[in-house]
A and B are shown apart, each in its own frame.
Chain A
Amino acid sequence: MRARYPDIEGHVERDGVNVGYEVFGEGEPTVLLLPTWTIIHSRFWKMQVPYLSRHYRVVTYDGPGNGRSDRVRDPERYSADSYALDAEAVMQACGVQEAIVVGLSLGAAYGVRLATLRPHLVTGLVMIGASIPLTLSSPEREATFERFLEPPGDSPQGWQKYNLAYWHSNYHDFVEFFFTQCFSEPHSTKPIEDSVGWATETGPGILEAEALNSPPSEPWDEIVSRLSCPTLVIHGTKDRISPHARGERAAELSRGELLAMEGSGHIPNVRDPVKVNRALRDFVERVAS
């Protein structure tokens, strides 16, 4: 059973693709919780929705490729620019003029794009475990990106599993490996199980399309520097997916606040939800006043 069910469920069609959204509560202002890498869907906000919706209107939606949205195979539907347009469409469908926008991991990049392409829609932006390439990732991860399209070795280990052919042959093993890396904190069995479960609702074909999307036309550090709304960056110091230095850089470039989570991994909103929830609420209150 969910702790909180949506008050409104709906779909919005944008350029032939259905995007499923949910609305909780009716307080002001609105908090828009963005999708992230489509390997999981909007249920990864399950620890935030019940709390935030007691105070604000909360809108979540599934990006293309997972949850209640269409399983699109067109890589361009997975660009950050396209996600920004999906978010705009969802806000319009829900009658939301502006929102405080929260993104996790790749979702932080989508949020940055929304706030720079459509600044009037975003009154504040929170970037959690931001996967925005403002600094290099770990050397072992960077190495796997280069061999992503090459054949995997006989028995790939660790980040070698981040490989297109391996996804197609051993999707479940990759997914387990990946979320074990996301949740670097001890005693994370339930968050890993949850994420692996949500990952089964999509598959390697979708992730392949996502992987081939085009980056924005200008460098990310310039885009982040252009943000004009208040920002809060939340980043774990034990983030193995996107290094903590990226969070520091994002806060610096956006002239925002930084909440460093000592000992936390890539998805602190799930693993340390109390701290993240309260930080979100504080931020919303400050921005809204």
Chain B
Amino acid sequence: MDFVKKTDYDYDIKLFKNWNAVFWYGLLAAALLIGPLFAAPYVLTLGVFVGIYVIAGAGLMLLSGYTGQISLGHAAFMAVGAYTSGVLQGMGVPFPVAFLAAGALAAIVGIIVGLPALRLHGIYLAIATLAFAFIIEEIISRWEDVTKGASGMMVKTMAFGSWPARTPMDKYYIVLAVAVLAMLGIKNLLRSPSGLAMMAVRDSGTAAQAMGVNLARTKLTAFAISAALTGFAGAFYADAIKFISPEQFTISVSIELIVLVFIGGIGSLHGIVFGSIFVVALPQLISQIKDFLPQYVAEQPGLQAAVYGFLLLFFIMVEPQGLYGIWMKIKHYFSQFPFYRKGELKRNKSFAKAERW
């Protein structure tokens, strides 16, 4: 581990730990910008989806990973974003306006969903968000005048003025820009008083309140920002798949987003990216290895869900820090090389206090 010698209070809130980090992030940025020029359109499309999941994942990570509020209904915000953008573009509104409206409406819905969160915590909140998601899904499939109901609707290609972003490469750069902005935004938020308040709420709501944190405002802000980001992701998602219907935003999407956040590594920004790559790459990997599986297994429609469920259980029980935890362990091993001792990173089981005793 590289220890940072702190000589200034600013070290605690600096964006980059040291010049080393700046170098590596710079290299990553260059690769993300130049790489696509040599990539196949298929890979670029995957890149677009990774970007979309990064935006949505950033939203859910802020809410679940940093504010400690469980949401089993994030697909609903994605649906609100996708439909807002799709419907507005259908009415002739330019994409940038429709995009912003998608985020804004999702944020408003997020605040409405967040209101019960002020009185609920843990499991009750999970159930409430689940209920909201079902209600929003039902509204979308019944409000046929606007959303075309269960038969779904086509979405226009996004256009900026007279320049439509048709090719995967155009879409890639646009989504990349927004994804980077989202990540930087979250990073910035987390070093501001509001972000610190969110983490205080996560660690102990009562203690945070005693320290003067406004619980209601903090939770609602987290819900609004989280929903807005997920709404933006929804707008891009609608554009990327061109056809939206209520079945695309069911509870399985919410679970997918949770899998993203958890397998990526709960409470880490790197985890968002790891999780997004995982969620996008897994179906591709499965379809790649299908040829090697016995035919009966390979033909099963439930194969992907089975792998999802299994990996979720595996990570929770074996590596609760997710892919980010694995990454940190590998880094630690090499930074300590040859002095790594077995069991050095063994997880201490912390026994959370029971609710009753």
A joins B in a complex: no
User: What residues of chain B have their CB less than 8 Å away from a CB belonging to chain A?
Assistant: none
User: What residues of chain A have their CB less than 8 Å away from a CB belonging to chain B?
Assistant: none
